[in-house]
Structures are given as structure tokens and as C-alpha cells.
Structure 1
Amino acid sequence: MRPSASIILSALPLVFSAAGVQAKDTPEEYLARIAAIDDAAPSIHAVIAVAPAAAIAAARRSTGPLAGRAVLVKDNIETRDMPTTAGSLALKNNATGRDAPLVARLRGAGAVILGKTNLSEWANFRGTSSSSGWSAAGGQTKNPYAIDRSPCGSSSGSAAAVAAGLSWAAVGTETDGSITCPASVNGVVGFKPTVGLVSRALVVPISVTQDTAGPMATSVHDAALLLTAMAGADPADPATAEAGKHAANFAAGLAKAKLTGVRVGVMRRQVGSVRRVAALFDKAMADMKRAGAEIVEIDFAPSPRLEQAESAALLFEFREGIDAYLAALPGSAPIRDLGGLIAFNKAHEAEEMRWFGQELFEKALAATDRATYEKARGDATRLAGAEGIDALLAKHKVDVLVAPTTGPAWPIDLVIGDHFLNIGAGSLAAVAGYPHLSVPMGAVEGLPVGLSFMAGKWADARVLRIGAGYERVRSAILAKPGFQPWREPTGR
């Protein structure tokens, strides 16, 4: 059960200071904020479940580097004390009694797992005209900066919760943009690590080659601190075989990170055509240059084949992955494969498919040709990695690639769906499985916009260090959540 929504007290004034969430960050205070602004008006709908009081109390007695820090976890990641629904009514009773290894690591580091966050249902891999942050189980997540604007997907609840001061940090997952886009439009830091740095075991899957969990927080340091606890090898996830060589204290030294001598590759075509986003980006580049970075202009256009190849690969991988996950669920789960999910949605059309359909489910069910899949996956990985990020880093001799993460949040539109702008280059890092960090860059009319930092495989520490260096010298004034609908400014 959620804490009583009557605990409104003075939660809203406590939420923010100039540096973000104030020091009053006990689990009890976060629970009060959840009751005050998530359950009650403005009803952000970022939190889909709160952990049992006994579990929270027991965690308060834990020790470790994250002792007492409240963390929310996206509801496609298994936790032993709460169901894992992926936002779907089909899994509303999916209480497995298991912790995903990444959750066990967080608990081992002393974190208080406060609850689960809402998400785009099935991590936004069900229909073709979905609204980011909507799930049948959790409703529509709202953006704290403008509650009628999109929180982006699919880790929308995790980003919105951190932005609204509902937890110290949160865990999201990404296949392509699902950590970095919500981080950007909700004005928080989001980090998608190298695939294989964090275990994906007991996480509802989409793609065995692109999926990863990652941290979301109010600063690069806090995101790195959370990542340090999450990272490491796991026998249940072969992709993590090399994680032990690359896991580290990612937060070490970030407080003094500098940009002197760093060569920054500016992906100029990926800045897009929104004038005010371009102006923010130019300001960020000027900040970095003043701090000693070398700015290198890059002219790059991704292959038109990349998106097509990625889509074909994801359909095949989702069918295999979700079938295996559902088949292995403990107990007497009524749905054991993708065909069963499709049938469930048809049987519960009014609740599940009022706003959008399940075209991706149906295409995935038919994606059974392994030779076609292997060709698509090979093409996608090569175009994004060897011929994409790797080639750009080598050709221009740069340490990192940068671009705006995405544009400002668009109005929530359940009828038509999302309205993405052609800004950013995050798909390259997603498809290649490389690290991608989004750091707040400023705001357009009160709506946050993030700055992306990307590099090659296992360059996680470098990306975090450069992102922290930018964060230290950023001159843009960041907006603050208003918890109101967006309004056109007056007096102009």
C-alpha cells in the first residue's frame, strides 16, 4: 500500500533547493513526498508501488556506501518484495520473490529499495503510436516541469521521480533512448552504461544485445555512485563476463573533474533545427572550450539502413527473450509466451488497448527467420559501432562525441502518441552497446534539455568524468519543476 495521501504536510517546500533535493532525504520523507505529489495532486504517477514498511525499516539498518539512500527501481526489474509488472495488467500478480542481481547489489551496498517506478508499458515495445510513460498498470506519468508534457520513455517514472524529489536516485533501463531521453526532458542525469557492465538477469527483456540498466540521479557524481554499486559480473548474464575488468569506483575524482585537453567531437548535424536548442548547445560548447576542451566539428550522417536493421533485430530478439522470461517465471503464471500476451491484450482490449495497439508484439511473433535476424543484427551493430562511433572517434582523434540528447518535452497526446524531434545521436550508442550520458544543459521556455556524451565500449569512466567536468563549468541556469501545466510566458 502507498502511504496515506493525507500526509501532505510541508512536502512540496522541502523538495528542492538550488542544488536539487535537500539533505532531508530519509526514506520517510521521500514517502511523504510520494504521498503529497505522486498519489495526490498534481499526481505525477511516477511511482507504481512502494515497498512494504517492514522491508524499508530493515533496509534502514544496512551499512555500506549507499547506506540509508532511497532508490526507486523501474518496474521491469524484479524485486523480492513487490510484483514486477512491466506496466502490464498481464503481470499484475507477478510476485516472483526474487531480486534481480543488480537489485541484490544495491541492497548489499546499503541502499533502501523504496519502491518501483511506472514506465511505458513493456518498455515502449508494444505498439507503434504509444504515449511515453503510459501503462495500463500505472496510468500516465507526468513531467514535473510541466505536467501536461511528456516524460519521455520508457524509464519515464524513474526520471520523473528523481526530478520530483521522490527518491535520492532511481534505476532505469534502456534499449534505445529509454534512460537518456527521460533524463533529458525531466532535467536529471541519466547514464546508459556499456552493455555488459550491469547484469540484465531477472529484468524483463527486449534485446539481448542492447538492453541495460543504468542510474538516474540529480548529479553525475550520484549517478556514478549508484552505478558503482550496480556494476559487476554475473554468471546468469554472459554479457557481463568482462565486467569485472571494467567495474570501478566510478564516482572517484569526479568532484575535481576537468576538461583541460579533452577533445570533444561536436556532432553538428545532430543538433537539429530548433533554434533555442541549438543556442543552448552552443553555450555548452563555449563553456567547455573556456574550461580547456578542444572543440572538433564533425559532419556525420548515419546510414539510413541503421534504423531498419535495428528494428528487424529487435523484433526477433524480443520474441526469443520474452518467451524465455515468461516460461521461466516461478509459480503458476497464467501467461508463458508472447502469443499469450497478445491474446491477453485482445481479451482486455478496453483496459490495455484503448490508446494504442500491439503491432510490435504481432510483428515480433512473426519474426522467426534466424538468417534474416543475424544479417540485420550484424549490419546494425557494425553501422553503429565500427562504422559509427568507433570510426568517428578514431578519424577525428576525439575523446568523446557530443550532441543535444533530444528536444524539449512535447505535449502528452494519448490519442496520437509521441512527437519526437529529429535531434540527437543516441541510437548510435544504444545499438552499438556503448556508454551514453545525458547531463542537464539548460531549458527552453522552462522545459529541460540534456547534453549527450558518448564514447566507445568500456569507456564508461571516461564519459562520466567528461560529463562531470562539463557539469562543473556549466553556465546555463537550470529550470525548476513547476508541477503545473506549461503556460506561455507573459510580458513579451
Structure 2
Amino acid sequence: MNRRDFLHLSSLGGSFLALAPLLPLGACSCSSSPTSATTASEAFALEEMTLLQLQEAMREGRYTARALTQLYLDRIEELNPKLNAVLEVNPEALQIAEALDQERKDKGERGPLHGIPVLLKDNIDTGDQMKTTAGSLALANHVAQKDAFLVQRLREAGAIILGKTNLSEWANFRSDNSSSGWSGRGGQTHNPYILDRNPCGSSSGSGVAVSANLCAAAIGTETDGSIVCPSTTNGVVGLKPTLGLVSRSGIIPIAHSQDTAGPMTRTVADAALMLSAMTGVDAADEATAASNGKSQTDYTKFLDAKGLNGARIGVARQFFGFDAEVDELMEDALEVLRQQGAVLVDPVSLETRGQWGRTEYDVLLYEFKHDLNAYLKTVGPDVPVKTLEDLIAYNKEHASEELPWFGQETFLEAQKKGELSDTTYQNALARNLRLTRDEGIDATLQKHQLDAIVAPTGGPAWVTDLVNGDHFGGGSSSAAAVSGYPNLTVPAGFIHGLPVGISFFSTAWSEPTLIRLAYAYEQASKHRRPPQFFPTLEQSIK
């Protein structure tokens, strides 16, 4: 399936889409596979520890921030050659950890993220020694002048930026036939459950790193599915926030009307903690002004194990049916919701489903050209590209490294687009928002008096295919993505050892509700389990 068909499918019910360095740029460790990683997994002292458990261990003196950081660095060194999830680690991480340990002794902790090591997707600026490249060799020498706003917020909360994760190059917006998790800089990222399976994208490395316990938590970004898809295929929690809740400044863009960063964690509670530290009004991002009075400084207060009791939840059956085994898992999930006291309205329908796929793609093309050109104006003289046109030329000149498996058709289409003042763009954007907001999610919520809507996040991971590209099945990311509304996915079970998630989505600024519902479901179901790193599906069942 090509990228354009996928965008259409997403509106129907699909998912959209150093150890310095740990691997040579462009390297792929596809041939390095253990028979299993059970020994390594069992030996890792921090496996599956939550943020609060890590914080408690530091308070009690069982660990220091430096010790945690070293353990995660060692874990990355051990497992990353098999996963290609981390592009580089922060050479200052241990020094930062030591300073935070001293601060804890002198002044006490800043909060629950004090001394917690986290990884960032490599399209998020850090004003340090690390590169920000979107996975592209064209930006291999790009060192951002300052932290992205969300990185500033995390550092202020005491988090340690451990490194940068691999991603689908340019956040999966380069070709119709790309392989999710592949970048020219980092090669192909591997799913930690079955290594020859795809991690989905574009936040591939972030999802894999969290699942494989290479960090305490990670940050991904989404335009349409790029947080929730790698979360479901890697068996973790992913929260795509309302547009404007988290600043977009300092993030290499696709499209300002849909882009947002969000937490990827092993538990809903950890996602709530991370989100609490990431929000805030940023003068450099006008969209965040709308969050004033709507954002929260502590989303953990909405964690309620009984939060499903009395909740009205719509079951969007129109996103079912692409896989019989996924449907079976969803029926099990719905039964858990019922047992926990939820009132299921089954089915409900987004009446405008399938009507915005083409115009979504048009909007993304227009905004990509405009937004990327604006970002590239900020890069330094060591970066050889200053416009999308330059980037297209660079890829042609370095085709053996950048275009060995798939092309740049999406770039070429975007380059042909005009300005954001074009009526074609303006009309498409207005239509998309109307269809997904007023006549879509909001209309469905109001008609049935719902707190949220649930649907399968996606199907089990497909075998990675560098020649033909991704093989998406189905999913439900598009309505929330195009509308700019929040979407939270939680593990819902396994199919032949491969994880599958369930999505909770609702109207703007409804993160508190989604966290309450998803947490209650998670606590009642507890489907998360760490990966075993089997080379193939056949070997996993022996």
C-alpha cells in the first residue's frame, strides 16, 4: 500500500501515518538477532520500573540519577545493535545526572521527573552537543541553537535528556512506499517483540526504546498516527495531545495544523506524569495560547482505577473489521469496560468518515513545503540544504545513501504546491476541520452524550519490507489527528505474540477524561508485558 492510499485508508479506519554514534550513519543491523533476549531482559535491574518507582528508589538512596543513567546507557549499548532504536546518546547525560544528584542533596527534588532519563525523537531540537536530523543525512551536521520548548520544560522538571531516537525519515512524509522506522541516518528500526517485524512510525525508535526498557520514557511526535501506531505495535501507551497543548516550536515539521509531540510510556500513569511537565504557553507557538486555562499542571490527579464507572463510551464499529483476531481482542476489551461500569453505546458512527482523506493529504503537502522551508531557514552554515528544493536535490545527489529503498515522491508533490494563501489550501483545511470536528467527533459525542469513543488503534506488526514498503492493515488515528483532538492508546492484548492497542479519543482538551478512562481500563486488564526479542515469529512459538 502506498502512502497516499494509506492517508485515504486512515480516514476510513487506518493508521497514518551515542555511543556517538552507536551505529555508523545509514547502517542497518538487520543481521544481528539473538535467539531471544530473555537473559538480558531478566538481568536488567530497572525493567518495567515506573517513573514513580524510579523516583522512590532515588529518594530511598537505592539509586542515584547517575546510576539510573548509567544503567540505561549500558542497556542501550547492549541491545541497540539489535534494535536500531537510538541514534545517539547525550555525551553530557552523566554530568547532568551528577548535578541533579547534588541538587537533590542540597535543595531536594524538583518533582517526579527529577533525575529521570528520557529519550527524544530525532526531530526535536536540543541545544546541546546532539544533532537534530529527522533521520536525514542532509541534516547530519545540524546542531540546534536552543532546546525546543518542550525540552526546556522537561529539563526544568529535572528530566535527563538521554539521547535521540531513530524515526521514519522526515516523519514518514517522503515517499508513497516507505518502510516505517527506516532513515538514511540510522537504518531500519526493528520491533522488539519479533525483530523482523515493523515498529510502525514515524516515532519508531521512541516506541521501541520504551518497550525495550532502554529509557524510563520517551517523546514522539504525530501528524496522523505517528505516536499511536508505534505505541500499539510496540506494546506501550501513547498519548497524542490536543493541538496546542504541547508547543510545536523547535520540532522539525510536517504540518502545523496537525503536528504535536506527546509522551510514549509503559503505563498511563507515566504518560500523565510526562504530559504534566510538557504543557505550557509558548510565545513562539501561537497555538499554545488556546491552552491557557485548559491545560493542567498535574494530570496524575485524574488517575482513577474506578474511572470507568458510569462513563458513556461509544464503540466506533466502523473502525473494526479489518482483522478478525483484532476484533476478538476488542470484544474482550469492551467486556472489561462493561465490567468496570462503563455504559457502552454500541455502535456509534462518525458520519463523515472517509470524506477527508484526499483533502488531508493536500493540506499536508501545502503545509510541509511552507513549514519545512521556514524551519530550514534557522539551520546553520554546516547544513547544505536551506529549502525543500535543496533537499530534493541533495537526495538525488546522494541517492545511494538516501534513496536505496524508496523515493521522494511526496517531496516532489509538496514542492509543486503554492502558498498558504491559495484558496485550494484554505478550503481544504476548513473542510477537514468541519468534517472531523463539528460534523465528526463532536457531533458523535453530542448525539450520544459520550465521554469518549473507542476503536482498535491498529493491527499487529507486519514483516518489514524495504522493497515494497509498509503493509498497513487498519486503525483509527485519522479523525483525532485531522481535528487536532487527543488520542490515547493502551495495550489491549497480543496476537501471535504481537501487541495490539485500543484507542480512546474525544474532543479538544479532554486529556483528563481520556487519562481517567484509559487508566481504569489498564488497571483492570494489565496487558503490558516486556518484549522477548525473537528473531522471527516462527522462533517465538518454538
TM-score, length basis structure 2: 0.85
Match of 1:304 in 2: 354
Pairs within 5 Å for 1:403-482 = 403-421=455-473, 423-474=474-525, 477-482=527-532
Question: 1:224: how far off?
Answer: 0.8
- CA distances 1:366-387 after superposition (whole Å, capped 9, x unpaired): 0115111111111111111111
2:282 aligned with 1:265, yes or no? no
Match of 1:281 in 2: 330
Pairs within 5 Å for 1:180-329 = 180-248=228-296, 249-297=298-346, 298-300=348-350, 302-329=352-379
Match of 2:426 in 1: 374
Change (3 A) 1:48 1:333: same
Q: Which runs of 5+ in 1 are unaligned?
A: none
Question: 1:52: how far off?
Answer: 1.0
In the alignment, the residues of structure 1 paired with residue 374 and residue 97 of structure 2 have an alpha-carbon distance, to the nearest angstrom, of 32
2:19 aligned with 1:2, yes or no? yes
Match of 1:337 in 2: 387
Question: 1:11: how far off?
Answer: 4.8
- Check the 8 A contact 2:497/2:540 in 1, yes or no: no
Match of 1:35 in 2: 77
Change (3 A) 1:490 1:324: closer
Code of the aligned partner of 2:505 = M
2:414 aligned with 1:364, yes or no? yes
Q: Secondary structure at the match of 1:98?
A: coil
Change (3 A) 1:59 1:129: farther
Match of 1:78 in 2: 125
- Check the 8 A contact 1:185/1:407 in 2, yes or no: yes
Code of the aligned partner of 1:47 = V
Question: 1:299: how far off?
Answer: 3.6
Code of the aligned partner of 1:439 = V
From 171, 189, 192, give the equivalent of 1:123: 171
Match of 2:209 in 1: 161
- CA distances 1:434-471 after superposition (whole Å, capped 9, x unpaired): 00000000010100000000000111111111111111
Question: 1:247: how far off?
Answer: 2.0
In the alignment, the residues of structure 2 paired with residue 15 and residue 456 of structure 1 have an alpha-carbon distance, to the nearest angstrom, of 40
In the alignment, the residues of structure 1 paired with residue 519 and residue 402 of structure 2 have an alpha-carbon distance, to the nearest angstrom, of 41
2:138 aligned with 1:90, yes or no? yes
Question: 1:487: how far off?
Answer: 2.3
In the alignment, the residues of structure 1 paired with residue 44 and residue 181 of structure 2 have an alpha-carbon distance, to the nearest angstrom, of 22
Match of 1:12 in 2: 41
Question: 1:485: how far off?
Answer: 2.0
Q: What is the aligned-residue RMSD (CA, Å)?
A: 2.2
Q: Which runs of 5+ in 2 are unaligned?
A: 1-17, 23-36, 55-62, 104-108
- CA distances 1:66-102 after superposition (whole Å, capped 9, x unpaired): 0111100000000112110000000000012311010
Higher relative contact order (CA 8 A, sep 6+): 2
Change (3 A) 1:138 1:296: same
In the alignment, the residues of structure 2 paired with residue 20 and residue 87 of structure 1 have an alpha-carbon distance, to the nearest angstrom, of 29
In the alignment, the residues of structure 1 paired with residue 541 and residue 98 of structure 2 have an alpha-carbon distance, to the nearest angstrom, of 50
Match of 2:84 in 1: 45
Match of 1:353 in 2: 403
Structure 1 stretch displaced more, 18-27 or 437-446: 18-27
TM-score, length basis structure 1: 0.94
